């Protein structure tokens, strides 16, 4: 900060402002300058953010930092700046066109309440591209793209921001004597704040529609638009809240530690296991337990899951590879073991089951009707056994059966992996399920 107050936050390095004679943007930019002079912020801590449209020509006339981005996206950069540096004063200058193409960002910043200030230079049409209609063009408005009069209803930017939850909203016009004070007031809000400033476009909208000061004020009056404060509902600002919460959150969530292999697996070659059942049968979790047990038994492991985007309905298929060596190809063209737990799962991998060779062993729920296959089929009462052990335990039952029957690695490894679980109730359930699965083999 300098000792003597700054007289302006603009630079004349680029010459005078580039706007058409009489354009409302000129008034607005000078009002913003006066607002900054009133507030006296450190210019290196102020960012003027603009996007495409005539008002987007203005950022570089400020002696603050300036960011000129894609059409309609200025709010997103402003939010990024503010999220990264909540201490900055971030002011967005945007046109009514930008509010159309970037409408979702307007809704979102109002809803999120990120503490930037949005100033809309709202002159009811696209000046930069030759005067086409925008989201704020009045009904009947003549523009390059509405030569017979605009059929679209205008969007009330203030009401829209308010409906999205904006904390502070003001409707201004370029003839307001106190425009600079209004802008300063907006900048001072710790929350998201918006000034919708109605202006005259002397190049296009005014000549085509006779929209001068008098008509602009009459249009507002006749259509129920009031000027002045529209919303003043303070609520906590996002970035300040976020920082407070994150800084207070000292404890990291508890995670599984890395596995130190302690046992020896009995596999001599890469082994593919497919577990197919229904969503809700905890196929993925049981497959992970099997894989982690394999790792504990000094094997390498990969796991891929296939399931619909919904939960608790449809199929769930897990593909696990265990190998004494590095696993490259993660596809299972010829599985060594297939575990079938439900009709959903069978349906999903039916063609695979049909083409299994005699080297594959299928562990199938006894009630399932299987297609013809060359694989060796072993049937077990996985469903009934799972029901006795407890809900969600069937996959663990079946995998314990597989391990006990094949001895791919010691059962101790599977038990070790189950005990790693973070939820004691689940650990208890799976311990019982594994014992029941082993019993299915030993009981034979």
Partner 1 sequence: MGLEFIEGNEAIARGALAAGCSFFAGYPITPASSILNHMQQRVAETGCTVIQAEDEIASIGFCIGASMAGSKALTATSGPGISLYSENIGLALIGETPMVIVDVQRQGPSTGSATKGAEGDIQFIRWGTSGGLPIIALSPTTVGEAYELTYRAFNFAEKFRTPVFILTSKEIGLTRESTDLEAIELPERVDRKLIATESECYLPHAFDAPEDVPPFAPFGGDHITRYTTSTHDQAAYLTTDPETTQKMIDHYTSKIEAAADELTLVKEDFEDGAEVLVLSYGVISRSASVAVDEARRAGRKVSSIVIQSLWPVPEKRIRAAMAGIRKVVVPEMNMGQYRREIERIAGAGVEVVGVNKMDTTLVSPKDILTKGGLL
User: Could you list the residues that contact partner 1 (CB under 8 A)?
Assistant: 14, 43-45, 47, 51-52, 59-60, 63-70, 73, 76-85, 87-88, 104-105, 107-108, 242, 246-247, 249-253, 256-261, 288, 291-292, 295, 299-309, 327-331, 333
Give the whole-angstrom CA distance, residue 212 versus residue 390: 77
Give the whole-angstrom CA distance, residue 327 versus residue 270: 8
> Closer to partner 1 at the Cβ: 41 or 390?
41
CB of 307 to partner 1, least distance (A): 8
Give the whole-angstrom CA distance, residue 339 versus residue 360: 11
Helices (H), 137-237: 157-163, 179-188, 205-209, 213-222
Give the whole-angstrom CA distance, residue 110 versus residue 390: 48
> Closer to partner 1 at the Cβ: 175 or 307?
307
> Is 268:336 a contact under the CB 8 Å cutoff?
no
Give the whole-angstrom CA distance, residue 206 versus residue 414: 79
- 125: part of which helix (H) or strand (E)? strand 125-126
What's the token pair of residue 131? Answer: 């005067």
Give the whole-angstrom CA distance, residue 22 versus residue 431: 81
CB of 205 to partner 1, least distance (A): 25
> Is 340:346 a contact under the CB 8 Å cutoff?
yes
> Closer to partner 1 at the Cβ: 379 or 420?
420
CB of 235 to partner 1, least distance (A): 18
CB of 442 to partner 1, least distance (A): 28
Q: What is residue 43's DSSP assignment?
A: G
> Closer to partner 1 at the Cβ: 210 or 354?
354
> Closer to partner 1 at the Cβ: 253 or 372?
253
> Closer to partner 1 at the Cβ: 13 or 443?
13
What's the token pair of residue 140? Answer: 């009947």
Q: What is residue 23's DSSP assignment?
A: -
> Closer to partner 1 at the Cβ: 258 or 425?
258
CB neighbour class for 219 (10 Å; exposed up to 12, middle 13-18, buried from 19): middle
CB of 194 to partner 1, least distance (A): 17
> Closer to partner 1 at the Cβ: 222 or 310?
310
| Crossing angle between the packed helical segments 394-406 and 411-419, to the nearest 10 degrees | 150
CB of 380 to partner 1, least distance (A): 26
Would you put residue 130 in left (φ > 0), alpha (ψ -120 to 50) or beta? left
CB of 220 to partner 1, least distance (A): 30
What's the token pair of residue 432? Answer: 């019982």
Give the whole-angstrom CA distance, residue 137 versus residue 114: 28
CB of 262 to partner 1, least distance (A): 11
CB of 90 to partner 1, least distance (A): 9
What's the token pair of residue 318? Answer: 């897990």
Residue 350 neighbours by CB distance under 10 Å: 14
CB of 150 to partner 1, least distance (A): 27
Residue of 228, 226, 219 whose CA lies nearest to 178: 228
> Closer to partner 1 at the Cβ: 82 or 133?
82
């Amino acid at each position: 900060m300098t000792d003597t107050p700054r007289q302006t936050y603009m630079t004349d390095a680029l010459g005078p402002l580039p706007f058409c004679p009489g354009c409302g943007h000129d008034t607005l930019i000078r009002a913003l300058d006066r607002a900054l002079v009133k507030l006296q912020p450190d210019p290196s801590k102020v960012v003027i953010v603009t996007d495409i449209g005539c008002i987007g020509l203005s950022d570089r006339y400020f002696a603050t930092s300036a960011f000129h981005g894609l059409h309609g996206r200025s709010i997103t950069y402003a939010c990024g700046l503010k999220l990264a540096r909540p201490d900055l004063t971030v002011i967005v200058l945007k046109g009514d066109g930008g509010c159309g193409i970037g409408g979702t960002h307007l809704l979102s910043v109002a809803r999120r309440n990120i503490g930037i200030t949005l100033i809309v230079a709202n002159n009811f049409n696209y000046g930069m591209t030759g005067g086409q209609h925008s989201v704020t063009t009045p009904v009947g408005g003549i523009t390059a793209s509405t030569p017979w009069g605009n059929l679209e209803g205008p969007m009330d930017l203030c009401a829209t921001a308010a409906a999205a939850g904006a904390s502070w909203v003001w409707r201004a016009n370029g003839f307001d004597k106190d425009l600079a004070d209004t802008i300063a007031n907006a900048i001072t809000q710790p929350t998201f704040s918006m000034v919708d400033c109605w202006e005259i476009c002397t190049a296009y909208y005014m000549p085509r529609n006779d929209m001068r000061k008098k008509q602009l004020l009459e249009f507002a009056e006749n259509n129920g638009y009031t000027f002045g404060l529209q919303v003043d509902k303070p609520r906590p600002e996002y970035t300040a809240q976020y920082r407070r919460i994150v800084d207070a959150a000292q404890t990291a969530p508890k995670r599984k530690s890395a596995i130190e292999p302690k046992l020896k697996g009995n596999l001599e070659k890469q082994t593919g296991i497919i577990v197919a059942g229904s969503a809700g049968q905890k196929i993925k979790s049981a497959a992970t337990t099997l894989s982690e047990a394999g790792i504990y038994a000094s094997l390498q492991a990969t796991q891929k899951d296939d399931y619909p985007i919904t939960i608790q309905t449809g199929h769930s298929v897990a593909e696990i590879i265990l190998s004494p060596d590095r696993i490259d190809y993660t596809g299972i063209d010829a599985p060594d073991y297939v575990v079938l737990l439900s009709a959903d799962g069978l349906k999903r991998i039916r063609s695979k089951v049909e083409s299994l060779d005699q080297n594959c062993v299928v562990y199938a729920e006894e009630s399932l009707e299987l297609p013809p296959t060359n694989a060796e089929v072993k049937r077990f009462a996985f469903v009934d056994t799972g029901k006795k052990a407890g809900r969600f335990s069937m996959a663990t039952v079946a995998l314990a059966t597989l391990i006990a029957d094949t001895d791919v690695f010691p059962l101790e490894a599977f038990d070790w992996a189950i005990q790693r679980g973070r939820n004691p109730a689940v650990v208890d359930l799976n311990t019982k399920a594994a014992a029941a699965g082993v019993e299915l083999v030993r009981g034979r």
